[in-house]
Structure 1
Amino acid sequence: MSPTDRHDRTDRPGSGSLLTARGIQKSFGTNHVLRGVDLEVQPGEVVALIGPSGSGKTTVLRSLNGLETPDAGVLELDGGPVVDFGAQAAARAGGWAHRRAGVRRAKVERAALRDRSAMVFQHHNLFPHRTVLDNVIEGPTQVKRIPRATAIGRAEELLARVGLADKRDAYPHELSGGQQQRVGIVRALALGPDLLLFDEPTSALDPELVGEVLSVMKELADEGWTMVVVTHELQFARQVADEVLFLDGGVVVERGAPAQMFSQPAEERTRRFLDRILHPLD
């Protein structure tokens, strides 16, 4: 399936959203990082988040699986959980009993979010003292409680799929950056998530290694995995994403299909950003 074909797909399951986020706000001290972000992702869609450094993209992504706790807003995954961050904040601000109940509920809800999603990080985050195989099966065996033999079989299948079957017993320091990131993707897939989250997965790689990681991500997109991707790889976003969101200053300035966003953006701020990235020498 070519990237053009992907954008014309009519076989997406249903019309209900897998993920809906409304009014997500987050501050770190006096720095108001997110100022009411809305996000909706259909099953099988790829949504790309683009924007300048410090625009809030990574904070949005980390909020989707509980690595960050927003100050306000609602996050809903089809089939649960539904997380009201404003209610959590109010509970924490209440009396001792309310705080205790709020903390308990927040832990349960964060665990539920992480059970439905998996993150691929910018810097791999592999355990350096463990083999590739052990890195991949850590989550399935320790978090999902999948039998070790089953987890190993699945890990070996996934490693073969991304061309790393022969690296099963290698350690991270024996791999290239691109190979390490492919292991990171396999580690996420091994959890069987409904939602894959990518936080600038190629930004720490040497330029010649970027393609091998993007190739794996394109294959996942064509297979129908639901993905939210923070990226500076605008060509990838143009070819693979179903929707592109441009963030700046903690808000979604503009959103739309890639063809519209990259050829005729509606907002001047979007146009300036794209011109600076796509035509740096003009």
Structure 2
Amino acid sequence: MANSMPNTKPKTKANTEPYRKVKITMWDDPKFRALSSLPPSGQSLFIYLLTGPFTGIIPGLFKAGRAAMAEELGWDGEAFDLALDEAITLGLVKFDPKARIFWLPNAAKHNPPGSINVVKSWGRAFELLPDCDLKLEAWKSLKSACYGVSEAIGLAFDKAIPLPKAMPSPLPSGIQKAVSSKQILKPEREHIARDQPVGNFPCFQPVGEVLDKFRMYPGWTPLPGFCDRAIAWGHKLDRLTPYSPPQLRQFCDYWIPEDTLRFQEQWEMTFAKSLEHQAMKKFNET
């Protein structure tokens, strides 16, 4: 009677617990998109981070911007951040806002690599992620998960994915002062002045508006006549004080890390929508 080979593969939750395969193309399926949208919540966001279109071949590790994901979900930025804070607080998600890297620590435990070729396929995807402390933390966890499956897969990981660099240390204060503030804060855009109406509202004639798309930058402000335009767009703002300096700073700080290009008018529309949401939230709380 032939001796049966012992099963040396360690048991994991992925081996013993029921699971289902979900295709990320689900999110772009016309019928799925026709369904009522997910409401902003921690659970909704976690499901999206596990299965959404921004995910890659490495379980739980990918690059994405908060604003881009919020836009895909149809949520405003504040609602997205609240949901993300829930997941981060519980340790389900980790996020580096500068590198824009998301890491779901338990993903590799529940989705361990099934073969050496799978680990090899991770190599290029991991290399393309920006180096930062979170990437290094994910590397350690992924390596542990690979060795937890078998020594062969662990060795394949060592060969395919070398140790990443940690987050670089800040420049000494003397060097920082030697760099011109214009070099640091200069927005990536070109200014083209014009004297013509904005959108379909001929009564508004701002001078010096930017024709090209640009990324958000420190010191950005809406052009004169912003409140009238916002009201014409259907947003309910106070004509006397449509926004405060802290609200403007908060808006800029939120969007600066995001790699999002928009026209001046589009940024103003986004700002108006954010102001209206804040006003409605404050009203509901009173």
Q: TM-score range by the shorter chain?
A: under 0.3
Select the structure with the greater relative contact order (CA < 8 A; seq sep ≥ 6).
1
Q: Which has the higher strand share?
A: 1
Taking structure 1 as the reference length, the TM-score comes to: 0.27
